[in-house]
Homo-oligomer: A and B are copies of this chain.
Amino acid sequence: MEDVARAAGVSRMTVSRALRSDGPVSDETRARILKIVRKLNYVPDQSAGTLSTRRSGFVATLVPSLNNLHFAESIQALSEQLEPTGLQMLLGHTDYSAEREERLIESMLKRRPEIIVLPFDGHTPRTIKLLKQANVPVIEQWEVPKRPIGYTVGFSNWQAARKMTTALIERGYQRIAFVSESEDAWTRGAARRAGFEDAMQSAGLSAHRMIRFGKPPISIEDGFQIGAQYSEHFADADCIFCVSDAPAFGVLSALKSQQIRVPEDIAVVGFGNFEVSRFSSPTITTVEVDARGIGHQTGELVRRLLVDENDRDGIPRHFEIDVRLRFRESTRA
């Protein structure tokens, strides 16, 4: 920067001002400085700027996992929203572990993020303490916690699963099995399971056909293995509701290879509306979640909180994301 200032015959401060769109610099001087900046290939050091302005320009972002299209898409949508603002995303993935989440947050806080975006899958007590002390807006995504730390963008997995279950019961299904992960203490999967159980009980039906298999995120392969044990798990069931479309597709694939007909012999239902559920045969009934919408709304919220000074009033604490039931060929009408 010193070099640029010397070459332009001005002070460092003027260079600094010229590089920031707002600074009061004459057009002529700015043009001259920018030309020299380009010639010398000067790239400002943002950590020095951060230190001085106390604004890091970082958005700390956590996701449970990247190899899940939902999370990948919401991240992608968020990062697209962030681009024009000049904010940068610090990304980490928790791998569905609250301890890993805590470690990640701890290391990200050293970068002084201006906002923290993370999924709610249950936090450790220390995580909650760290988040509160960070003195920075916190946005919890996906599942909406009962006691939010700050803002939330998401929906109730409990309600979504309950709604689908109730709709299935209305369509005449009574002996519904539920497939979910084996270690999901606090995840969205657990909330879906609870919603399913509640709906069944409310209808006076038994929710005893609970299959737990595979670690989060449950995969197509896991679903295939479950489906391969049809007689053991589903002999007296009339419908298999899976915690996600991936195992639903796997179950379907396994049933097909055993000549079990869907939906004639048994129905299959997923969750998430992944692309594969629209193109499998039969196509899979599922719960559609607007993953991009979560990223987009979060981006919008970040903009209102950090960028747009005129739009800071009356920001709601909670943004509800759409959830819709998609009935397809894998259930009978």
Contact = CB atoms under 8 A, between A and B. Distances in A.
Given A275-B221, A276-B249, A112 B45 contact: yes
| Secondary structure of the A contact surface, majority rule | helix
A219 interface: yes
Most buried by B among A47, A92, A108: A47
Contact of A69 (B50, B67, B224): B67
A134 B6 CA distance: 22
Interface string A133-148: 1000000000000000
Most buried by B among A43, A89, A253: A43
B93 A91 contact: no
Given A66-B75, A76-B65, A112 B47 contact: yes
Interface in A76-106: 76, 79, 83, 86, 88-93, 103, 106
Contact of A48 (B51, B83, B256): B51
B279 A221 contact: yes
Contact of A88 (B47, B111, B112): B111
A307 B278 CA distance: 46
Contacts of A73: 66-67
A231 interface: no
Given A253-B279, A281-B253, A41 B133 contact: yes
Contacts of A278: 220-221
Contacts of A65: 76
A65 B76 CA distance: 8
Interface string A107-132: 11111100000000000000001000
Given A47-B47, A51-B45, A107 B79 contact: no
Interface in A179-228: 219-221, 224
B88 A89 contact: no
A257 interface: yes
A46 interface: yes
A280 interface: yes
Nearest to A280: B253
Contacts of A48: 47, 51
CB-based closest 4 A-B pairs: A47-B47, A46-B110, A66-B72, A253-B279
11 contacts: A45-B112, A47-B51, A67-B76, A69-B69, A88-B111, A219-B275, A220-B275, A220-B276, A220-B278, A249-B279, A280-B280
Interface of A: 41, 43-48, 50-51, 56, 65-67, 69, 72-73, 75-76, 79, 83, 86, 88-93, 103, 106-112, 129, 133, 219-221, 224, 246, 249-250, 253, 256-257, 275-276, 278-281
